[in-house]
Amino acid sequence: MRIAVIGSGYVGLVAGTCFAESGNAVICVDVDEKKIDDLHKGIIPIYEPGLEEMVKHNVKEERLTFTTDADNAVKASEIVFIAVGTPPDEDGSADLKHVLSAARSVGKAANGPKIIVDKSTVPVGTAAKVKEAAEGESKFQMSVVSNPEFLKEGAAIDDFMKPDRVVIGSDDEHAADVMTRLYEPFVHDNINKIIHMDVKSAELTKYAANAMLATRISFMNEIANICERVGADVTKVRTGIGTDSRIGIPFLYAGCGYGGSCFPKDVQAIIRTAEENGYDFEILQSVESVNQKQKFVISDKVRAHFGSDLTGRTFAVWGLSFKPRTDDMREAPAIYIINALLEAGAKVKATDPEAIEQARLKFGDKIEYCEHPYDTIENADALLLLTEWSEFRNPDFDLIKSKLKQPVIFDGRNIYPKNELARQGFTYYPIGSNPIVTSRSPVPAR
């Protein structure tokens, strides 16, 4: 099939590349000339495992091209995906100006009927607005499909190529059939993974899925905070409830809060959609509130240990991205924790396998950046683990102990062996269980 993808950001580039991988002719469009120039040179604007190799392969095979010329891309295609940003407005609602602008550009350029696919995460009712915007600029009929993405950053290629499900929302039988044929190569093992529904239900499905996952995270963080107060261990509680087949293990990890481009934005957007329709979504309001508070749990623990004034203290931070296997720092807990430390007078030395350049955009020269994790801990007062990258999971604790001023670790992801750290004399602060505070790690005078 001949496909245009308007928007070559995270979703658009992954989707376009994967469609090309299955044999389609794909044109990725973006208004950012530098991004398109870089893509022509093989420079990928985002970090996503496996994406660079797949892009280069499909460019070489001439199935994947990049352009700033939306008109010609639309004319050359039968299906046009809209995968532009939908940033939150001040009130939390999704800003649709880029989506509707893309829809109008499709209408203006159309040389025949087109299938327009909303791939961006958009609120209920957007498809009708997209259809109106496109047909208002065209003499041709437009079919608008809602096809929400369910990609996890760090595993997006696998998620797209081997999806749990594909949701297709359409009120047009022909468009639904075309979309089914497009996705069949990805679900050849089980065609029932393609789920057809009406457009509005599809639009709400993406928000509902992310809101449910965010709810599970905030719920476990609330349980973790109770565990600390009663002397229980949240990792054991997680096992106890997660092995219940009605509940399951995924997204029940306690930690220092969720971030990223989806959960915070989508929770706010569905709350706003509810308000616009006269409904008070109390659960999600609490989910959001709990998450914002949770992002300060680690910095609160630091101040409880060292005192409220951190002037003269230096802290090593391992992990800046909101999750492993991505350089995305949008709403990352590290931003809030580091800012809290800086405001209390501390110095911060930080490292991350992929997100250092993004961190420079956030913090500038306010913190020190280190390529090697062990460089951050040299003469630091404590180590803060904020992102559970694989390379941080089994460090040399003897080396850490020798480099730190005192053996203190704040673990925002509960990845370190509590008993082993106790044996080695560390003071260890996890999330959701009693800390280890040893007599061998006093807080020294500054």
Q: Is the dihedral of CA 430, 435, 439, 444 positive or negative?
A: positive
Which amino acid appears at position 99 of this protein?
A: V
- Contact (Cβ atoms closer than 8 angstroms) between residue 169 and residue 197: yes
Q: What is the pLDDT of residues 369-428, one digit of tens each?
A: 999 999 999 999 999 999 999 999 999 999 999 999 999 999 999 999 999 999 999 999
For domain 206-293, the CATH architecture is Orthogonal Bundle (1.10)
Helices 199-230 & 263-276 angle (0-180, nearest 10):
120
pLDDT at 188: 85
pLDDT at 92: 76
Which residues, 6+ apart, have CB-to-CB distance to 132 below 8 Å? none
pLDDT at 441: 47
Q: Which of 18, 28, 262, 370 is catalytic?
A: 262
Question: Where is average pLDDT lowest: 89-103, 111-125, 148-162?
Answer: 89-103
28 classed as catalytic? no
Which amino acid appears at position 134 of this protein?
A: A
Phi–psi pair at 222, nearest 5 degrees: -65, -45
pLDDT at 320: 98
* CATH class of this structure's domain 295-429: alpha beta
Alpha helices in 392-436 (DSSP H): 397-403, 418-423
User: Is pLDDT above 90 for 191?
Assistant: no
Average pLDDT over residues 188-208: 93
Collapsing DSSP to helix, strand or coil, 167 comes out as strand
Average pLDDT over residues 22-41: 96
Q: β-strands 79-82, 194-197: how paired?
A: unpaired
pLDDT at 120: 87
Average pLDDT over residues 344-352: 98
What confidence category does residue 290 fall into, taking pLDDT thresholds of 50, 70 and 90? very high
Q: What is the pLDDT of residues 239-277, one digit of tens each?
A: 999 999 999 999 999 999 999 988 999 999 999 999 999
Q: What is the pLDDT of residues 128-175, one digit of tens each?
A: 999 999 999 999 999 999 999 999 999 999 999 999 999 999 999 999
Domain boundaries, the chain: 2-197, 206-293, 295-429
Q: β-strands 25-29, 64-67: how paired?
A: parallel
pLDDT at 383: 98
Model confidence, pTM: 0.91
**228: nearest Cα among 430, 410, 414, 433:** 433
- Contact (Cβ atoms closer than 8 angstroms) between residue 424 and residue 401: yes
Task: Please give the structure tokens belonging to residue 249.
Answer: 């293990």
Options 3.40.50.720, 1.10.357.10, 3.30.360.10, 3.90.1150.10; CATH of 2-197: 3.40.50.720
Q: β-strands 194-197, 166-169: how paired?
A: parallel
- CA 20 to chain centroid, in Å, comes to 24
What confidence category does residue 444 fall into, taking pLDDT thresholds of 50, 70 and 90? low
User: Is pLDDT above 90 for 446?
Assistant: no
Percentage of the chain exceeding pLDDT 70: 98
Average pLDDT over residues 192-207: 96
pLDDT at 102: 97
Collapsing DSSP to helix, strand or coil, 4 comes out as strand
Rounded distance, CA 387 to CA 406, Å? 22
What confidence category does residue 82 fall into, taking pLDDT thresholds of 50, 70 and 90? very high
Alpha helices in 278-365 (DSSP H): 282-294, 297-306, 333-343, 356-363
pLDDT at 439: 53
Question: Where is average pLDDT lowest: 139-143, 190-194, 287-291, 300-304?
Answer: 190-194
User: What pairs with residue 272 in β-bridges?
Assistant: none
User: Is pLDDT above 90 for 438?
Assistant: no
Alpha helices in 136-251 (DSSP H): 156-161, 173-183, 199-230, 234-242
Same topology for domains 206-293 and 295-429, yes or no? no
User: Is pLDDT above 90 for 8?
Assistant: yes
Task: Please give the structure tokens belonging to residue 35.
Answer: 């991004």
